[in-house]
Amino acid sequence: MAKLDRRSVAALPGPDGGRFDVVHWDDDLPGFGLRVLSSGARSWVVRYRIGTRQRNVSLGKASALPPAKAREEAARILARTKLGQDTRVEIEARRAVASAPKERTLGDVVELYARHGIAGQKARTQVETRRYLEKHWAPLHRLPFARVGRREVAARLLELRDASGAVAANRARSALSALYAWAIQQGMADQNPVVGTRKNAEASRERTLRPEEMKALWDATAGPGDHAAIVRLLLLAGQRREEVAAMRWGEVDLERGVWTLPAARTKNGRAHEVPLSLQAQALLESLPRPEGRDLVFGRGGGPFSGWSQSKRRLDAKVGFTGWTLHDLRRTVVTGMAEMGVQPHVVEAVVNHVGGHNKVGVAGVYNRATYAGEKRAALQAWADCLDGVVAGASPRVVVLEGCRAGGEGRRQP
């Protein structure tokens, strides 16, 4: 056989006598050949020996790889065999890695657990479990599941405690531990990295901000920035941090002055309408609205993040610590109660299903008839906050300036 080139390759015959294939070897480069199948398909091959073992390596289809390139690759492989390097083994190893299933991440297991592991839980518990796993543990979602260790879990729990409080950190800890218990049962994990991490002591929080603290907080959040706007909106509307942080423009109707939270985004799994005070509307209208982005806060494809660092900077500005963003919600609730807003209206404002707002027919009726009361309460609270920010005496603010159903003053 002469040298394999473009002309000779096209003319080489296929196998005869019922054979499956035939290899035509090159005279100039021993071990380099062209394999022709009975179907007519042609591919380049290299044959060599490592010790007593004969190896055959396919270089690719002749239609895709020109003879000169195939010869060059064959020469490289044959030269390596003289150094004892087995190209066939290396190729098989690379193929094994390429064909191996993608390494499962924590986020992958969270999805599996949400679909199959919590089916027996009550609907409300399922919502809570998903929220803790999908939101609180999101920073670890891209880690390979098998490599999530106690160090990573403990560090994240510390971040959660600082940003959301001991109770939220403990609930997130329990949710992740339950996920790992399920994963162990399914054979996806051998141990639970939550075991051995610290559970925070839970004291029932009663912390509310004093008027001078509210003023300091408002003054410290003047100017641009997502975190500043979120803090002000929390203080105006009394909703949950996660709900505000993931607010979408599609949920907000500035013409009607209503923010509608879908059931999938609320803690209790019920859709919730939040009447926007004039002050809250003005705040939202002042925010930038990039084209093509529905999320009000945050960057890229997700909602606002970076809570811990932003909170530390804010603490330094206001000059006091020992408070959490959830305390703002409690401050709004307590302030409304002191203003004389009825308990069932306060619960409706913050979407809390308690003794005054039960499920069933009564719950549907209440949600339908409290819209006006909620708007009056939130507007009165925003007007009250105006007085606090202006530096009025707390007694004057509460007794003279804060009446549910006030006219409302729009802040620019």
The CA distances from residue 310 to 136, 244, 246, 412, in Å, are 17, 16, 16, 24
Question: Mean of the pLDDT values across residues 59-86?
Answer: 88
Range of lowest pLDDT (77-81, 111-115, 188-192, 252-256): 77-81
User: For residue 268, what pLDDT band results from cuts at 50, 70 and 90?
Assistant: confident
Closest to 46 in 3D by CA, of 33, 37, 36: 33
Q: Side chain identity at 125, as an amino acid letter?
A: T
Coil vs helix vs strand at 47: strand
Question: Mean of the pLDDT values across residues 279-300?
Answer: 93
Per-residue pLDDT at 111 exceeds 50 = yes
Closest to 143 in 3D by CA, of 113, 108, 105: 105
Look over the chain and give the mean of its residue pLDDT values, rounded to a whole number. Answer: 86
Q: Encode pLDDT of 171-224 as tens digits.
A: 999 999 999 999 999 999 999 999 999 998 876 667 899 999 999 999 999 988
CATH 3.30.160.390 applies to domain 6-99: yes
The CATH class, in words, for 211-401 is mainly alpha
Q: Encode pLDDT of 129-172 as tens digits.
A: 999 999 999 999 999 999 999 999 999 999 898 888 888 999 99
What stretch(es) of the chain map to CATH 3.30.160.390?
6-99
What stretch(es) of the chain map to CATH 1.10.443.10?
211-401
Question: Mean of the pLDDT values across residues 40-51?
Answer: 89
Contact between 50 and 62 (Cβ < 8 Å): no
Element at 313 (helix H, strand E)? helix 307-318
What's the confidence (pLDDT) of residue 204?
A: 61
What's the confidence (pLDDT) of residue 201?
A: 82
What's the confidence (pLDDT) of residue 180?
A: 96
What's the confidence (pLDDT) of residue 366?
A: 47
The length of the chain in residues reads: 412
What share of the chain in percent tops pLDDT 90?
57
Per-residue pLDDT at 94 exceeds 70 = no
Q: What pTM was computed for the model? A: 0.53
What tokens appear for 84 in the block?
């004892």
Per-residue pLDDT at 407 exceeds 70 = no
Per-residue pLDDT at 229 exceeds 90 = yes
Letter string b/e over residues 109-125, b meaning 16 or more CB atoms within 10 A of that residue's CB:
bbebbbeebbeeeeeee
Distance CA 272, CA 177 (A): 31
Coil vs helix vs strand at 298: coil
What stretch(es) of the chain map to CATH 1.10.150?
106-185
What's the confidence (pLDDT) of residue 80?
A: 86
Q: Encode pLDDT of 345-375 as tens digits.
A: 999 999 986 545 544 444 444 445 589 999 9
Higher pLDDT, 358 or 391: 391
Q: Write the secondary structure of 158-185 as one string of H (helix), E (strand) and C (coil).
A: HHHHHHHCHHHHHHHHHHHHHHHHHHHH
What tokens appear for 100 in the block?
């191996």
The two most distant CA atoms of the chain are separated, in Å, by 108
Per-residue pLDDT at 395 exceeds 50 = no
The CATH class, in words, for 106-185 is mainly alpha
